[in-house]
Structure 1
């Protein structure tokens, strides 16, 4: 079901998509993110991808009339990102070279090298809708490429993000009554095990913001610990010692799923790292 927030955003930004697509040198323009998926809410920005045959000029990046446009990066390699304020609706516009997309997908899907930015690109292509421009078939080809999540990529992601170190720090920080650093560790560890779960389920994720809708995420992950969304919330809302135990259980249950569905991964090694404990010292006597 498409939300009302997604529906009106699509209508408002369509002239912006048309404006970019009309520029000479643009291969394709696509709508991405929650507006493309249809689950945007009243807080949602709109994500737009513009794919070029060449690097765009500053004037071309400012091609949206009546909008306040902030160029986040001018020099350097793609992508070149802009923030476009359209009467209070924020558009996150990413300009990149069409040829660089194929190179990035080769690294991800053929070489099996997980990278946060490329994983986000792959998910953006999965979500893409309202594709227009001189060569919309490019996005269709990219969609076909990312439709199958390679098992080798899942194994690589799990080996990397499943290596969750220094869980013992939480006990130290709880005893020190340091909620700032406790929260930081909760975010780090939660981000890692959720990334592993996405890989087990053949879902792209490259950033903590990929997990911003917990209930939707739970519905999209058939292989997951039970009551995933509620338990993730509880990690951060229960008293820290309880939250830490909930988080420990979630990680262990995630390792159980890896053992069953990705036996190529040495889960015993991951568990050893996760369970490594550092004992406090009162004295050397």
Structure 2
């Protein structure tokens, strides 16, 4: 089964209903269904852009089974959770003016705001755009298609500052796999956020990829054997996993030096290499 096409077909009436709602500028299909890499576990993501704050009734009218999220007020976004014959649909509502402000903040000022980066990721992935003013979304997409270099630098300087890596050795010696896994996840999240920025790919609160191999193929500038080494971090014995991750971070700093020489990698390396000596 083509899971993405199945979901596009299933959600089409919901998109059309939102597009016909007064006050809606445009509606967009997003996420893995829009990208084409949905699987049988995938929800459907929908973006609805309003010229004014919607009422709760307007937000929830297009589907019979709705679990409202945040209440409507004078700000955005707002979230609702719909169910259509068992298929989960995550709907994010935003004011068109708020999108413009976010584009100015992230693309214009180069501020790596996580909410803004998540929105930009959704815009880049979006398709099946409908509504009275689809040209709005097309204009946003054209603007988002150019990833500012200073935004990449800001993200790398923020997330490339990986500290307290010595905790991995400490937690391995304590035989605490739960907290060790948390540390591995913290470091890999920062590392992958950096690599996405270097490759001019938006990522926000959650790195949106389903398969490590597909992600690796999209990251032209990255350490070698990235997907295999990431799997090793979470499957190998703790001492080996820690060393693999340590070298991945060091190799990522090499990539930064090659692609973004404006970043002071010596400072990032020094912070990463700072250790705590055990006593006794």
Q: Which runs of 5+ in 2 are unaligned?
A: none
Distance in 1 between residues matched to 2:273 and 2:239, nearest whole Å: 16
Match of 1:85, SS state, is strand
Per the alignment, residue 228 of structure 1 pairs with: 226
**Equivalent runs, 1:237-252 vs 2, <5 Å:** 237-252=235-250
What do the CA deviations read for 1:14-55 (whole angstroms, capped 9, x no partner)? 000000000010000000011001111111110000000111
Per the alignment, residue 73 of structure 1 pairs with: 70
Which residue among 105, 118, 142 is the counterpart of 1:144? 142
Question: Structure 1 residue 75: deviation in Å?
Answer: 4.6
Match of 2:76, SS state, is coil
The list of structure 1 runs, each at least 4 consecutive aligned residues, that deviate by more than 4 angstroms after superposition, is none
Match of 1:48, SS state, is strand
TM, length-normalised to structure 1: 0.96
Question: Structure 1 residue 62: deviation in Å?
Answer: 1.3
Per the alignment, residue 107 of structure 2 pairs with: 109
CA pair 43-34 structure 1, distance change in 2 beyond 3 A? same
* RMSD of aligned alpha carbons: 1.1
Which residue among 270, 274, 277 is the counterpart of 1:276? 274
Mean alpha-carbon deviation: is it higher for 210-219 or for 141-150? Answer: 210-219
Q: Which runs of 5+ in 1 are unaligned?
A: none
Distance in 1 between residues matched to 2:63 and 2:69, nearest whole Å: 18
Distance in 2 between residues matched to 1:29 and 1:120, nearest whole Å: 17
What do the CA deviations read for 1:215-268 (whole angstroms, capped 9, x no partner)? 111111011111111111111111111111111111111100000110000000
Per the alignment, residue 42 of structure 1 pairs with: 40
Distance in 2 between residues matched to 1:211 and 1:193, nearest whole Å: 14
What do the CA deviations read for 1:172-225 (whole angstroms, capped 9, x no partner)? 111111111101101100000100001111111113342442111111101111
CA pair 65-108 structure 1, distance change in 2 beyond 3 A? closer
Distance in 2 between residues matched to 1:245 and 1:39, nearest whole Å: 32
Aligned residues: 279
Mean alpha-carbon deviation: is it higher for 227-236 or for 164-173? Answer: 227-236
Distance in 1 between residues matched to 2:228 and 2:67, nearest whole Å: 38
**Equivalent runs, 1:1-285 vs 2, <5 Å:** 4-66=2-64, 68-75=65-72, 77-282=75-280
TM, length-normalised to structure 2: 0.97
Question: Structure 1 residue 64: deviation in Å?
Answer: 2.3
Distance in 1 between residues matched to 2:63 and 2:33, nearest whole Å: 21
